[in-house]
Amino acid sequence: MSRIGKRPVALPSGVTANLSGQSVEVKGPKGTRSFTATDDVTLTLEDGAISITPRGTSKRARQQWGMSRSMVQNLVTGVSEGFKKELEIQGVGYRAQMQGNVLKLALGYSHDVNFEVPQGVTVTAPKQTEIVVEGIDQQQVGQVAANIREWRAPEPYKGKGIRYKGEFIFRKEGKKK
- Is the pLDDT at 13 greater than 80? The verdict is yes
Closest listed residue to residue 149, CA positions, set 141, 81, 174 = 141
**Residue 83: count of CB within 10 angstroms of its CB:** 20
Question: At residue 161, what are phi and psi to the nearest 5 degrees?
Answer: 140, -170
**What number is the average pLDDT over the span 143-171?**
94
Q: What is the pLDDT of residue 176?
A: 85
Angle between helices 59-80 and 138-150 (to 10 degrees): 80
Q: What is the pLDDT of residue 1?
A: 63
Structural domains of the chain, ranges and CATH numbers in brackets:
3-80 (3.90.930.12), 83-164 (3.90.930.12)
- Is the pLDDT at 135 greater than 80? The verdict is yes
User: What is the pTM (predicted TM-score) of this model?
Assistant: 0.88
